[in-house]
Amino acid sequence: MKLIQQRLRTFITDNFLFGQDGAELLGDDSLIEKGVIDSTGVLQLISFLEREFNIKVEDEEVAPQNLDSIDCLTAFVQRKHAITGAAIARENQRCASPVAVIAGVEEQ
Amino acid sequence: MCGMCGILNLDNRAVDRDLLGRMLGTIRHRGPDECGLYVTEKAGLGHARLSIIDLSGGRQPMHNEDRSVSLTFNGEVFNYIELREDLIRKGRRFATSSDTEVILRLYEEEGEECVQRLNGQWAFAIWDKKEDKLFLSRDRLGVRPLFYASTGQRFLFASEIKAILAHPAVSRQLDLSALDQIFTFWHTLPPHTAFKGILELPPGHSLKVKGGNVKVWSYWRLDLSRTGTSPYDVLGREQEYADRLGGLLIDSTRIRLRADVPVGAYLSGGLDSSLITAIVKKFTNNPLKTFSVAFHDSEFDESRYQKQMVSHLDTDHHEIRCSYDDVGRVFPDVVWHAEKPLLRTAPAPMYLLSKLVRDSGFKVVLTGEGSDEILGGYDIFKEAKIRSFWGVRPDSKLRPLLLRRLYPYMQDIQSQSEAYLKMFFRVGPQDLSSPLFSHLPRWEMTAKLKLFFSDAVKSELQDPTPYAELEDQLPAAYRAWDSFARAQYLEAAYLLPGYILSSQGDRVAMAHAVEGRFPFLDYRVVEFASTLPPSLKMRGLNEKHLLKRFASSLLPESVIRRPKQPYRAPEVKSFFDCDKGAFRHDYVDELLSPDRVREYGVFNPAAVQMLVAKVRRLQATSVRDGMAIVGILSTQLLIHQFIKNFQIRTDHEADSTEVAYVHHG
């Protein structure tokens, strides 16, 4: 979990705060209310999540309760991984190869 | 239209004629036709002329018979014919048929109050020898620029800041608090400029220097107190109001065609410039030549609508088609002329357009600016209207659905979920009671760019926002005004002169000696519009309702009904070739390099590097990142050209300057 949070924080600090004041951003601060991201920023954030964490963000998941703070984002990525992990686990049970399951869970 | 400058030595020392000539040389682009200096013992006036009215007789500086009153003037007085007749009836004699002489005689007749009678766009200075007084005035809405500085025993003034900076007694330093204002409001708050110690005479103000004292006062102010008081007064009388507005616009356009040279028109493809062009075509005999900006990038291009109007009105049309490369190439010159940091590149195509006008043999163009401010056209009014409607019922399920109607041309906004839209346009608990409600989202987003300031600049700027200074300047009755009127005032009294008419108007047009004329900014139109209730400006969410009603008899339905598109130009892609991740121009690489950013001291080199690394390869950049690149680069260019290499740049400008005649008092 620490690792996910760290990667999220680094991305947000570098891309939206350009290395400035990142330490002052609390885990539950609203990224929009604090003016950290704007409308394009939301789209950039989604591409980052999909690329970095290898998840697919569905349209209905693009909502502030999932994406508007570092804490929300961390929990969201974890949930997605859990689902993906479970899916992979089901897949693996059929294929009898545990490697992918471990890769999916390690992040957490 | 012209350039002017002057020196008043308060210690009675003789004015240095060569120095006055050097000051004038820096603004010679404003008036390439003639050039004159007038030097008495302690006062000197300079004038670079663009000859438009009375080509042979309107030489300046101009004097009365006994040379006790001398005038240098930039601009036009459109009602000069009527004023002249009136003065002749009162026994005044005229030596020329120029509008310049009308100001001179009117001043002799009525003194400082003469400005109340002028309908026009002006900045002028009068040296009144008998009164031992220098009198300066600027037009009501700030079409023409006028700057001044007091340094010890000298008072200096000029049409552009660079002429004042050319005086060796003036130090060239950025004003950090002005920078703070620009990175909030997009302009400085008058009377500040980007340079320490140099002030602008605000629109609608006069100034005099007498007995060593400088006095500045307002002679006119936009008054929106009648707006919104009487929506029922206009019920059933809408056509009558549309006719009155139309009558005023036709007359204001008619008198703006007064010139002894041909007058052209800018055609953006939007309602306002199309309407002005249509008025010229239908109500005057002026042979019409129109000029437009088109873009290679379809996101910014409006040429489809421009072509519609050209074929509808059958004008002789010329256009420039801007590439990313063009915008970036001329941007250093644009900053040189704008004399302040910019957050948008939109002035650059206007700079290219004025060159086309000039190369086509034209000196004067009519343009549609001012309509959105005075008749309620801007998206920011719509945004404020929806936000306040929702803000008073924050739990409403239906009201926030209107947010979807905002910014239809912005894909990033349109692709957001409802929950996100509500967050972007949220109304904070304190917001509704703020007198600045309409503009807080724009300003707060812009102010985020301050995170790029260097630590030294951040620690210098302790005050979190420059709002207090703005609030202190607002009219006493402002807080009691209707919310629509308040939003209009912030646009018309601040952004209009501070950016639209200056950086995107006078400065980029006069860079190629082209004079813009603005029928919507005739004070009679402005004063009439300021009595209209908001329902005649924005009806529901339909902007410029009354104007459209008038325009429906003159323009094709498709132009009236077309979705409004704000005039913008490409930002990041003008400076970076994002396909290759490369800098398009050497100066961009140079001025954004960590060494140069550190040397100039305003921005944090590491933050700028991260921004550059982010945007140079991105195909889509956020509005804020685009503004950051433009703001940082223009500030670096300003420092580069005005603080570090001023001599080199002014020598280059002055190469062609020759003073044609000098008068001695």
B414 contacts in chain A (CB < 8 Å): none
Residue A96: the pLDDT is 45
Closest residue in chain A to residue B424, using alpha carbons only: A32
Q: Chain A contact for B607, CB < 8 A? A: yes
CA within 13 Å, CB half, B233: 11
Residue A94: the pLDDT is 54
Q: Chain A contact for B449, CB < 8 A? A: no
Residue A13: the pLDDT is 94
Minimal Cα–Cα distance from A91 to chain B, Å? 33
- Comparing CB atoms, the residue among B413, B420, B610 nearest residue A18 is B610
How far is residue B497's CA from residue B174's CA, in Å, rounded to a whole number? 21
* CB distance B327 to B630 below 8 Å: no
A29 contacts in chain B (CB < 8 Å): none
* CB distance B156 to B149 below 8 Å: yes
Beta-bridge partner residues of B157: B6, B148
- Note whether A14 contacts B610, CB cutoff 8 Å: yes
Minimal Cα–Cα distance from A96 to chain B, Å? 41
Q: Which tokens in the block code for residue B475? A: 């009219």
The helix (H) or strand (E) run that includes residue B125 is: strand B120-128
Q: What mean pLDDT is predicted for residues B626-636?
A: 97
B413 contacts in chain A (CB < 8 Å): 39
Q: Chain A contact for B454, CB < 8 A? A: no
B225 CB-contact burial (10 Å; exposed 0-12 / middle 13-18 / buried 19+): middle
Per-residue pLDDT band at B188 (split at 50, 70, 90): very high
Minimal Cα–Cα distance from A105 to chain B, Å? 30
Q: Chain B contact for A65, CB < 8 A? A: yes
Q: How far is CA B627 from CA B118, B183, B445, B631, in A?
A: 38, 10, 10, 6
Asked if residue B229 has pLDDT above 70, the reply is no
How far is residue B367's CA from residue B594's CA, in Å, rounded to a whole number? 41
The count of CB pairs under 8 A between chains A and B is 71
Q: What mean pLDDT is predicted for residues B593-619?
A: 95
Q: How far is CA B233 from CA B149, B223, B230, B268, B528, in A?
A: 48, 19, 5, 35, 15
Residue B618: the pLDDT is 82
Asked if residue B84 has pLDDT above 80, the reply is yes
How far is residue B276's CA from residue B262's CA, in Å, rounded to a whole number? 16
* CB distance B330 to B355 below 8 Å: no
Q: What mean pLDDT is predicted for residues B357-374?
A: 96
- Comparing CB atoms, the residue among B417, B607, B623 nearest residue A38 is B623
How far is residue B151's CA from residue B169's CA, in Å, rounded to a whole number? 7
Question: B235: which DSSP letter?
Answer: T
pLDDT above 90 covers what percent of chain B? 78
- Note whether A21 contacts B451, CB cutoff 8 Å: yes
Residue A92: the pLDDT is 56
* CB distance B295 to B321 below 8 Å: yes
- Note whether B420 contacts A63, CB cutoff 8 Å: yes
Minimal Cα–Cα distance from A32 to chain B, Å? 7
How far is residue B153's CA from residue B12's CA, in Å, rounded to a whole number? 9
Q: What mean pLDDT is predicted for residues B89-112?
A: 96
B624 contacts in chain A (CB < 8 Å): 38, 40-41
Q: Chain B contact for A41, CB < 8 A? A: yes
Q: Chain A contact for B459, CB < 8 A? A: no
Q: How far is CA A70 from CA A31, A51, A67, in A?
A: 8, 17, 8
Q: What mean pLDDT is predicted for residues B103-132?
A: 97
DSSP B526-589: HHHHTTS-HHHHSBTTBSSHHHHHHHTTTS-HHHHHSPP-------HHHHEETTTTEESSHHHH
Asked if residue A95 has pLDDT above 70, the reply is no
Q: Chain B contact for A18, CB < 8 A? A: yes
B393 CB-contact burial (10 Å; exposed 0-12 / middle 13-18 / buried 19+): exposed
Closest residue in chain B to residue A19, using alpha carbons only: B607
User: Which residues between 80 and 99 in chain A have a beta carbon less than 8 angstroms from any beta carbon of chain B?
Assistant: none
Asked if residue B662 has pLDDT above 80, the reply is no
Residue B644: the pLDDT is 96
Q: What mean pLDDT is predicted for residues B175-199?
A: 97
DSSP B349-405: HHHHHHHHHHHTT--EEE--TTHHHHHT--HHHHHHHHHHHHHTSTT-SSGGGGGGG
How far is residue B144's CA from residue B23's CA, in Å, rounded to a whole number? 18
Q: What mean pLDDT is predicted for residues B338-350?
A: 98
Q: What mean pLDDT is predicted for residues B487-495?
A: 98
Q: Computed from CA positions of residues B10, B13, B19, B21, in that sequence, does the dihedral angle turn out positive or negative?
A: positive
Q: Which of B62, B207, B184, B58 is nearest to B498 (CA)?
A: B184
Residue A108: the pLDDT is 35
Higher-confidence position of A107 and B430 = B430
Higher-confidence position of B235 and A60 = A60
How far is residue B515's CA from residue B665's CA, in Å, rounded to a whole number? 30
Q: Chain B contact for A62, CB < 8 A? A: yes
Q: Chain B contact for A10, CB < 8 A? A: no
- Note whether B606 contacts A19, CB cutoff 8 Å: yes
Residue B435: the pLDDT is 94
Q: Chain A contact for B407, CB < 8 A? A: no
How do strand B62-63 and strand B43-49 relate by DSSP bridges?
unpaired
* CB distance B478 to B118 below 8 Å: no
How far is residue B410's CA from residue B383's CA, in Å, rounded to a whole number? 14
Residue A105: the pLDDT is 38
What number is the ipTM of this complex?
0.82
Q: pLDDT digit string (tens) for B569-602?
A: 999 999 999 999 999 999 999 999 999 999 999 9
- Comparing CB atoms, the residue among A15, A39, A63 nearest residue B424 is A39
- Comparing CB atoms, the residue among B410, B416, B608 nearest residue A42 is B416
Residue B477: Cβ within 10 Å count? 11
Q: Which of B40, B6, B269 is nearest to B146 (CA)?
A: B6
How far is residue B442's CA from residue B623's CA, in Å, rounded to a whole number? 11
Per-residue pLDDT band at A97 (split at 50, 70, 90): very low
Asked if residue B551 has pLDDT above 80, the reply is yes
Instruction: Report the side by side order of strands in the sheet with B2-9.
Output: B199-200, B147-151, B154-158, B2-9, B43-49, B34-39, B661-664
> In degrees rounded to 5, what are phi and psi of residue B545?
-55, -50
Q: For all residues of chain B together, what is the average pLDDT?
A: 93
Closest residue in chain B to residue A15, using alpha carbons only: B614
Q: Chain B contact for A24, CB < 8 A? A: no
